[in-house]
Amino acid sequence: MTETAAPPPAEAPAGNPQAGGATMLVTNPVLQVRNLVKCFPIRSGLLRRVTGQVEAVTGLCFDVGRGETLGVVGESGCGKSTTGRLLLRLIEPTSGSIRFKGEELVGASSARIRALRRSIQIVFQDPYASLNPRMTVQAILAEPLRVHGLWCEGGARRSGTSWPRSASTPST
């Protein structure tokens, strides 16, 4: 993936000239990605020597503002999943910058990244990898909230349903 290309809105600052082409930039972005690069080594032979590299993501730049949704579309192997994994620091970028609410994630400690996973998460596209058919929907939804201390057990006991502390009960 080389770049998310879309013409910037008229009021947005000009795109990053280093990456080339149009760049989506917004004022006070929640997520700011600059010149993100990920190369995977290609190993071959008995000693598994590095003989080349796959440039999965090269010079990716984009901003996501509060309340915005960014869709990434491209052919198979263009780097969509790699980009997602980089944003969560599930894999280390070769170079570049990822800022979440102004905080640089590249080079941040694993403890800090663990804390930020309350706010930055991934839903895997393969339902059999992300949804366990032996668990109830409530158990699946509750598991990550429990891990991050956001699940309200008291509510579950009183009403039979439980809502995370940060979420509101939907009005019907």
Nearer to ligand ATP, 76 or 172 (CB): 76
Please check whether residue 63 is in contact with residue 29, taking contact to mean a CB–CB distance below 8 angstroms.
yes
Query: Bridge partners of 103?
Result: 100
Nearer to ligand ATP, 23 or 83 (CB): 83
Phi, psi of 11 (to 5 degrees): -85, -10
Which does residue 20 touch among Mg ion, ligand ATP, none (CB within 5 to 8 A, set by kind)? none
* Touching ligand ATP, residues 45-74 (CB under 6 A): 54, 56, 74
Sign of dihedral through CA atoms 61, 67, 73, 78? positive
Residue 171's contacts (CB-CB under 8 Å, 6 or more residues apart) are none
Residue 76 in the binding site for ligand ATP (CB under 6 A) = yes
Nearer to ligand ATP, 78 or 120 (CB): 78
Residue 62's contacts (CB-CB under 8 Å, 6 or more residues apart) are 3, 4, 23, 24, 25, 31, 33, 70
Binding residues for Mg ion, rule: CB under 5 A, are 80-81
- Distant-in-sequence contacts of 101-106, Cβ < 8 A, 24+ apart: 101/30, 102/32
Which does residue 74 touch among Mg ion, ligand ATP, none (CB within 5 to 8 A, set by kind)? ligand ATP
Q: How far is the CB of 147 from ligand ATP (least distance, A)?
A: 25
Q: How far is the CB of 91 from ligand ATP (least distance, A)?
A: 7
Binding site for ligand ATP (CB under 6 A): 40, 54, 56, 74, 76-82
